[in-house]
Amino acid sequence: MRQCPLIHRAATWFAAAALSLASAPLLAQPSDGDLRRALEAARAQQWERIDMAELDDHPLSGYIAYHRLRGKLPHVEPERVLAFIERHADSPLSDWMRGQAISQYGAAGRYRYLRQVADGEPEGTHRQCHYYTALLDVEPEAAAEGGLALWRVGRSQPDACDTLFDTLRARGAIGEPAIWERQMLAWQRGESGMVRYLGGLLGSRWQDARNALARVQEDFSAITQVPRCIGPECRGSDALFAAAMHGFTRADTEAALEAWRKVAPHLDLDPAVHDAIEHDLAFYLLVRDIDAHAGWRDDVVARLADPDLLELRVRTALAARDWQGVIDWVHRMPDDPRQEARWQYWLGRALEQLGDPATAREAYTAAAGERSFFGFAAADRLEQPYALNLERNSVSAADRERVAALPAVERTEALLRIDEPGLAASEWYNAVARSTPQDARALADYAARSGWHAKLVQTTITGRLWDALEWRFPEAYRDEFLRWGGTTGVDPYLLMGIARRESAYNPEALSPAGARGLMQLMPGTARQVGQQLGVGDPGPYGVLDPALNIRLGSTYLRDMLERYRGNRLAAAAAYNAGPGRVDRWLRDGPEAFDLFVESIPFRETRDYVQAVLSYRVIFESLANGGESEGVALLSAAEKSMRYDASLLARN
């Protein structure tokens, strides 16, 4: 049968079209390079360089949209801001956009718009001031409460607070007592310019308060001579006595206590102010080892039952070898801190010293269940393995596949590809914070398999995966630690513990003091050790190289070990606080290793030494397949030697 010519031509056309479509290239997807260039242009608000339509399918297109919308603030309607926030709810872009809108709507006085986009009190003083300013006419009580909280600080606040404070002052919500209170807070902080400014806002009724302030500013001891009633209706007394005693206690604790005991019975202060003054006095009597007023001090410590004061009191008892006092003061602690391994260990030590080994063993057993320095020390006392409480985690193939496909993970990978590590970290930690426990483990697994050591450690913190030790203490830079540990003769697990504590494996870590890299070397130390090794000064960026940083850090630690006859406790303390301080502590040393650790006067260094030695136990145990058998917190020599001047190699 002959085919119809029309049908034949149609069939031929469709076949040719199909062949053409099959052979034609697919539409090009936006590349990371395109996005990188677009992001640079967006930050500069150079929109003529960007074709938004071409970038729609890229995982990071939201970052371009963020800069476009931010650039239109404060003139864009809040509905568009809210739509952006909802569309990017799984990204930090959502919170960033809300914060930008609050700042810019507030600065422009578009308070109705601000209220629409705000979701309760925002973070940051600047935005909080805009937020409460926006509430002045619609929720005046909330505005007054929030404004007063922002007012009651002894430092200058951002200009964004001016309208809020001026309005609250005009309405009487910030009255002269609040002005006086802030003036006293400014005096405590040494903000003399602010003290003068605030004094100028007070009326004539406050002249007696001004006179009293002038007297105690000149001489703290005049606190015993100023009127007991300060300001109208005595409304300035609390603030003046709190501020004056704050300064007096720090300047001369014994004289301050003498003055306080004279005036306190005659004052009608708020109980919280009274307790705060006595807390300060007791605290400084303890830290300055002033024993002349021990009875008064102990009465205050017992009455206030403040955990920090009780801790100090136990440490004072330890320094005096007052073992019964150690027991009594530990028993006064609230339940939570008292059950910590540290205090159960010291209970055991005290009971042992007083000849009660059975009860001491109970305390040591309670302590030994904890994975910590004193938990391990208690296990040593019991001659039992350490309780690592190791949680083994396995992630299914399905969970791995599902997590890898999460938009947040795709954005993190894309941000790393375009060299935006800060944005990548924000995306990643936001994803972890929002995740379920199951997903947090899958994300940790992803970070581990990707070799993201610093992100992995932070993932376990954000995800509260405290017992996932293989993730919390990964084998990061292991070969370098083994290499330079072997070269310098330094325990490589100690090096790992220091690096883990110092930088959490962020090779570009920079401390506020200027320490850099994995092992947080100060520039002067890096230069000195570099010259010692013949490699010269690595400079601020060369020291960030992980291999060089570990080499310099291990050499410096070797020098500290040599200084302290191979003692790792003293060397770790010196790595953190400097050898000069450790030399002084050893000259006043309390002899036993545990007493030396507890006697370190800096909390940071005290915690540091305990963490580093505990971490090295964990690293060595993980290297043993997760078993602590045969792993020791300290060597026999380190546990038995005297921690005093005899430990100084240069003594």
pLDDT digits (tens, 9 = 90+) for 84-104: 999 999 999 999 999 999 999
Which residue bears the tokens 């003055």?
259
The encoded tokens of residue 633 equal 């917190």
Q: pLDDT tens for residues 411-427?
A: 999 999 999 999 999 99
pLDDT in tens, 495-553: 999 999 999 999 999 999 999 999 999 999 999 999 999 999 999 999 999 999 999 99
**Alpha-carbon gap, residue 575 to 497, rounded angstroms:** 12
What pLDDT does 8 receive? Answer: 44
Ordered by start, the domain boundaries in the chain are 32-134, 397-466, 478-647
Neighbours of 397 (CB within 10 A): 7
Percent of residues in the chain assigned helix, strand, coil, to nearest 5: 70, 0, 30
| Amino acid letter for position 329 | W
CB 452 within 8 A of CB 458: no
Whether the predicted pLDDT of 571 surpasses 60: yes
Supply 465's token pair: 């995966």
How confident is residue 651, by pLDDT bands cut at 50, 70 and 90?
low
CA 551 to chain centre: 28
| Per-position DSSP letters for 420-474, written without gaps between them | -HHHHHHHHHHHHHHS-HHHHHHHHHHHHHHT-HHHHHHHHHHTT-TT-HHHHS-
Q: Within a 13 Å sphere around the CA of 337, how many CA atoms are in the beta-carbon half?
A: 15
Contact indicator for 476, 502 with CB cutoff of 8 Å: no
For the ranges 20-29, 523-532, 592-601, 634-643, the lowest mean pLDDT is seen at 20-29
Contact 485, 507 (CB under 8 A): no
From CA 278, how far away is CA 272, in angstroms rounded?
Answer: 10
| Model confidence at 235: pLDDT above 80 | yes
List the one residue out of 581, 596, 583 whose CA is nearest residue 639: 596
> 415 with 424: CB under 8 angstroms?
yes
Separation CA 73–CA 62 (nearest Å): 17
Helices (H), 267-340: 271-287, 294-304, 307-319, 323-331, 335-338
Q: Which tokens sit at 210?
A: 């001004």
Alpha-carbon distance of 608 to 613, in angstroms, equals 9
Rounded Cα–Cα distance for residues 276 and 285 (Å): 14
Residues 6 or more apart in contact with residue 177 via CB below 8 angstroms: 231, 235, 236
Gyration radius of the chain over CA positions:
32
Structural element, H or E, at residue 103: helix 92-107
Task: For residues 18 and 492, give the distance between their C-alpha atoms in angstroms, rounded to a whole number.
Answer: 65
- Neighbour-count burial for 280-311, b at 16+ CB within 10 Å, e otherwise: bbbbbbbeeeeeebeebbbebbeebebeebbb
Q: CA–CA separation, 578 vs 117, rounded Å?
A: 50
pLDDT of amino acid 30: 76
Residue from 502, 562, 598, 627 carrying the catalytic annotation:
502
* Confidence (pLDDT) at 555: 97
Could you say which DSSP state residue 47 is in?
G
Given pLDDT bands bounded at 50, 70 and 90, which one contains residue 62? very high
**pLDDT score recorded for residue 650:** 66
Three-class SS of residue 643? Answer: strand
Considering the domain delimited by 478-647, tell me its CATH architecture.
Orthogonal Bundle (1.10)
Q: Which residues contact 540 (CB under 8 A, 6 or more apart)?
A: 516, 523
Give the residue carrying structure tokens 């720090």: 250
Q: How far apart are CA 525 and CA 560, in angstroms?
A: 12
pLDDT at 296: 97
What's the rounded Cα separation, in Å, for the pair 444 and 435?
A: 11
Q: What is the pLDDT of residues 250-304, one digit of tens each?
A: 999 999 999 999 999 999 999 999 999 999 999 999 999 999 999 999 999 999 9
- Both tokens of 196, joined, read 């003068």
Query: What is residue 29's predicted lDDT score, i.e. its pLDDT?
Result: 63
Percent of the chain with pLDDT over 90: 92
pLDDT at 577 over 80: yes
pLDDT of residue 375: 98
Enumerate long-range contacts of 503-509, CB under 8 Å, 24 or more apart: 503/454, 504/454, 504/457, 504/458, 505/453, 505/454, 505/456, 505/457, 505/474, 505/476, 505/477, 506/454, 507/454, 507/544, 507/545, 507/546, 507/549, 508/544
**Three-state secondary-structure class, residue 364:** helix
Residue 74: band (very low, low, confident or very high) from pLDDT cuts 50, 70, 90: very high
| Known catalytic membership, residue 340 | no
Contact 564, 570 (CB under 8 A): yes
Query: Would the CATH topology of 397-466 be identical to that of 478-647?
Result: no
List Cβ neighbours of 556 (8 Å cut-off, separation of 6 or more): 521, 525, 529, 575
> One-letter amino acid identity for 616?
R
Q: Write down the residue that tokens 């509430």 correspond to.
A: 135
Task: Give per-residue pLDDT as tens, 1-34.
Answer: 344 443 344 444 444 444 343 443 434 567 888 8
| 3-state SS class at 623 | helix
Coil, strand, or helix at residue 11? helix
pLDDT at 13: 41
Measured over the CA atoms of residue 62, residue 64, residue 67 and residue 73, the dihedral's sign is negative
Q: How confident is the model at residue 573 (pLDDT cuts 50, 70, 90)?
A: very high
Residue 2: what pLDDT? 42
**pLDDT, mean over the chain:** 93
> Is-contact 38 68, C-beta < 8 A?
no
Residue 81: exposure state from Cβ atoms within 10 A (0-12, 13-18, ≥19): buried
Average pLDDT on 366-389 reads: 97
Position 318 scores a pLDDT of 96
- CATH tag, 397-466: 1.10.1240.20
In angstroms, the CA 135 to CA 157 distance is: 19
pLDDT of residue 321: 95
Contact 409, 440 (CB under 8 A): no
346-354 average pLDDT score: 98
Count of other CB atoms within 10 angstroms of residue 13: 10
Q: Which percentage of the chain shows pLDDT scores above 70?
A: 95
Q: Is the pLDDT of residue 430 over 90?
A: yes
| pLDDT tens per residue, range 318-337 | 999 999 999 999 999 999 99
Sign of CA dihedral 639, 623, 341, 284: positive
437 has pLDDT over 60 = yes
Task: Confirm if 543 and 552 have CB atoms less than 8 A apart.
Answer: yes
Q: Output the pLDDT for position 154.
A: 96
